[in-house]
Structures are given as C-alpha cells and as structure tokens.
Amino acid sequence: MKFSLGANRYGKAECRLVRVVRDGGRHEITDLNVSTSLSGDLEETHLTGDNSAVLPTDSQKNTVYAFAREFGVPSIEEFALRLGGHFVSSQEAVHTANVRMEQYGWNRLGDHSFSRAGDEVRTAGVTVTSDSAWVTGGLTGLTVMNTTDSEFHGFPRDAYTTLPETHDRILATAVDAKWRFSTLDVPWNAAYAMIREALISGFVETYSLSLQQTLFAMGSRVLEKVPEVAEVRLALPNKHHFPVDLSPFGMDNPNEIFLAADRPYGLIEGTVVRDDAPEEGLAWSS
C-alpha cells in the first residue's frame, strides 16, 4: 500500500495575551486569544522526521508576545497581518500563514478596573415548606480585573515554592457569589442591583494584598449595603496573568505583556456572615 500526505498545517493554538498600556494613571487593556497556523513545504517532517523547515510552535507563540511588546496591537487585523507576514517572509518553507484572533470585550469600571462583557448570569434558589421559605440569590461569571493595586508577598517558602513575591500584579477573577436573605420582604431587583454593585465596588476599591483579603472586603460590602442579606458566599478563581519574560528577545517587559493562563487557577472561597444572622428558614408571617 502506498500513502501520500494530504493537506497539513501546524501552529500554536490559543495564545492568551493581555496587554496593559499604562500611559498615566488611566490604563487600557487588550485581551486576545491568538492562534497561528503555518503551511507550505512541510512534507519532510511528516515523512522522515526532518525538522529543518519546522519553525517550532513555541517560537510562534513567543513571536506573538514579542510583537505585542514591540509593535503594540493597534487592531487585531493589523496585528494578525504583521504576524502572518512575518512567518511567510522569514521562513522559506512557509507559504501560507493563518492567524486567527479573538478579542474579548471589557467594560471600564475605573482607571485601572474592568469587567468583561457577557457571561454574567443572575441566579436564585428558594426552598419552601408548608410554613416557611427562604431565598438565596447569586451571580456567576462576573469577570473583573484590576491592572494594579494588587500585591502578593510575605507567604511561606517551602522546598516547592518558586512563586516570586510581587508588589504590582494583575488581579482578575470571575465572581461566583451566593447570598442568603434573612427576610422575604425584599425589593428583589433593586437588592440584586445593589449587591452586584457592592461586589464590584468592593473589588475595585480594595487595595489588595491577597485575593482572600479582597474576598472578605467584597462580602463585607454586600452586608454593609444590603441589610436583608445575612450571609455571602464567594468562590473566586484567581485568573493568573503571568508577565512574559521577553529578555531572550532583547526586550524589557514593564508589566505590559501578560500570558493569561486558564488552568490551573487558584480558587479562593469564603463566607462572610453577619454576626446576628438568623438560622435558615423564615416563617411566612415574618
């Protein structure tokens, strides 16, 4: 039997890149998912394992981050054209470069705070018995980011600790919150709006030394603003943004170019409870 190689291409899929421009105190962010795919005279690696024409996908990924630092991202179209043009012009064997871009939208919350558009879901749960009922509200998928005012240091260093201490990092999380009402006499929609606002302002306005500290501030803010809430439970994934080391390419990275990692992520969970919170179960008459 004889086989021949049909269409083929290769590249790095889903380079998650966040770029922060810090001209003055008002930051701008660009959040991208970049995939490269090259094709051309690439038979040899498939047929004999000769890699002399195979620009590593790792190099393709590095180019994405390095170009973001060197040339910025005026638009995803321009950035994609520059990347594609580079691969085709610099690699003799590469005749076609496909570059796919996804750009995620963020809404501004403040000078260095943003919330990601879409994905947010309001939730509610009720339990009803013959003589009582109780209500929990919640939200999931509220993704927020502070591009400064976050530090993490002073932690124990054991034999397996490699994490550098940081005094200026990105803090980003997708808020997963549940709260328990201590009464059924609640203007539900207005209360939801206030709770959501309290969670956001707690995140934005807290100068954070840990996501745990931010969690407690967010929960406390809800209890402060909405007296009908007895308890807030928060699950906050720490959506890590690692500064990319561009020194191998002769570039610095003044906290501008980040790899947005999706897994694994820290998961910080906690409950903030009003000291005089009633037990679950509210009499209908109350």
Ligand X SMILES: O=c1[nH]c(=O)c2[nH]c(=O)[nH]c2[nH]1
Give the catalytic positions in this structure.
Answer: 12, 57, 240
**C-beta of 152 vs 203, nearer to ligand X:** 152
Three-class DSSP category at 214: helix
Torsion of CA 99, 100, 106, 110, to 10 degrees: -10
Quote the CA–CA distance of 260 and 14 in Å, as a whole number.
Answer: 10
CA atoms within 13 A on the CB side of 87: 31
**Which residue minimizes CB distance to ligand X?**
211
Going from the C-alpha of 37 to that of each of 7, 55, 96, 98, 284, the distances in angstroms are: 13, 11, 8, 5, 62
Quote the CA–CA distance of 229 and 43 in Å, as a whole number.
Answer: 65
**C-beta of 142 vs 171, nearer to ligand X:** 171
Quote the CA–CA distance of 132 and 216 in Å, as a whole number.
Answer: 30
**C-beta of 63 vs 150, nearer to ligand X:** 150
Handedness of CA 208, 176, 137, 275 (dihedral sign): negative
Minimum distance, C-beta of residue 112 to ligand X, in the bound complex (Å): 17
Which residues of the shown chain bind ligand X in the complex (CB under 6 A)?
A: 152, 163, 210-212, 238, 266
Residues 182, 276 contacting (CB under 8 angstroms): no
**C-beta of 199 vs 282, nearer to ligand X:** 199
Minimum distance, C-beta of residue 17 to ligand X, in the bound complex (Å): 21
Minimum distance, C-beta of residue 210 to ligand X, in the bound complex (Å): 4
Q: Is 225 exposed, middle or buried (0-12, 13-18, 19+ CB in 10 A)?
A: middle
Minimum distance, C-beta of residue 234 to ligand X, in the bound complex (Å): 13
**C-beta of 206 vs 238, nearer to ligand X:** 238
Going from the C-alpha of 243 to that of each of 67, 101, 124, 237, 280, the distances in angstroms are: 15, 20, 38, 18, 45
Going from the C-alpha of 32 to that of each of 10, 28, 111, 257, the distances in angstroms are: 20, 13, 20, 11
**C-beta of 266 vs 270, nearer to ligand X:** 266
Torsion of CA 10, 14, 16, 19, to 10 degrees: 60
